[in-house]
Amino acid sequence: MNIMLFGAPGAGKGTQAKYIIEKYGIPQISTGDMLRAAVNAGTPMGLEAKACMESGKLVSDDIIVGIIKDRLSMEDCKKGFILDGFPRTLAQAEALEKLMIEMNISLDKVISLNVPDELIVGRVVGRRVCKSCGGSFHVEFNPPKKEGICDFCGQPLVQRKDDNADTVAKRLAEYHAQTAPLFDFYKEKGVMEEIDGTKNIKEITEDIFKILG
């Protein structure tokens, strides 16, 4: 099963991806997590991406398409995958289509988590993440069982550098200008499923599982 989680920054894509992994055993492919790993490792690609990420801008399509090509060709993607945070531009969506044709695979579902902008800032600013496994928590809406520690892998939780009110506003502007138009792109292909992303986390997981079967 090849699926994509679609939605604004902070809509809950990473949070829901963890539950989909648990149930379906397919890997999450988060371009944000891969870029953060490259930044932390100080690779040339990480150095190039760092400034864009910290200012809330999108990283260049060439970098992103390159890392997705490498990742989708890995063995663990053979039984399916969850795209999280990719594609984010029309050029990325078209590159993904081309790549999937080459690989003789298709996208089964795009799940859009619909959350209005006014709820996004509070979600993002209160987020705490695990640098090790990408687990995502919230100080109020989704606290970990043990304060400051990831429920999934037991590693410490941190606040992302770009999770502040200023950068969120810029990320939302990028989302509306470049990513939101992809909603119609996937709707026309008949794979789009919409979910009310304002519900609580458990209800949303149940809605996703109903769609995925």
Closest by CA to 30, choosing from 80, 96, 82, 70, is: 82
From first CA to last CA, the distance across the chain in angstroms is: 11
3-state secondary structure at position 136: strand
Binding mask 4-43 for ligand AP5 (x = CB under 6 A): ---x-xxxxxxx---------------xx--x--------
Measure the CA–CA gap between 180 and 184, rounded to whole angstroms.
8
Please tell me which residue in 69, 160, 187, 199 is annotated as part of the active site. 160
| Contact residue for ligand AP5 among 39, 82, 112, 123 (CB under 6 A) | 123
Measure the CA–CA gap between 58 and 51, rounded to whole angstroms.
10
3-state secondary structure at position 101: helix
Binding mask 93-122 for ligand AP5 (x = CB under 6 A): ------------------------------
Size of the site for ligand AP5 (CB under 6 A): 35
Which of 93-98's residues contact partners 24+ apart within 8 Å by CB, and which partners?
93/182, 93/185, 93/186, 95/61, 95/65, 95/68, 96/65, 96/68
* Annotation marks residue 13 as catalytic: yes
Q: Are 171 and 58 in contact (CB under 8 A)?
A: no
Please tell me which residue in 36, 71, 88, 123 is annotated as part of the active site. 88
Does 56 bind ligand AP5 (CB under 6 A)? Our answer is yes
* Annotation marks residue 71 as catalytic: no
Does 81 bind ligand AP5 (CB under 6 A)? Our answer is no
Q: Which residues are identified as catalytic?
A: 13, 88, 127, 160, 171
User: What are the residues binding ligand AP5 (CB under 6 A)?
Assistant: 7, 9-15, 31-32, 35, 52-53, 56-59, 64, 85-86, 88, 92, 123-124, 126-127, 136-138, 141-142, 171, 200-201, 204
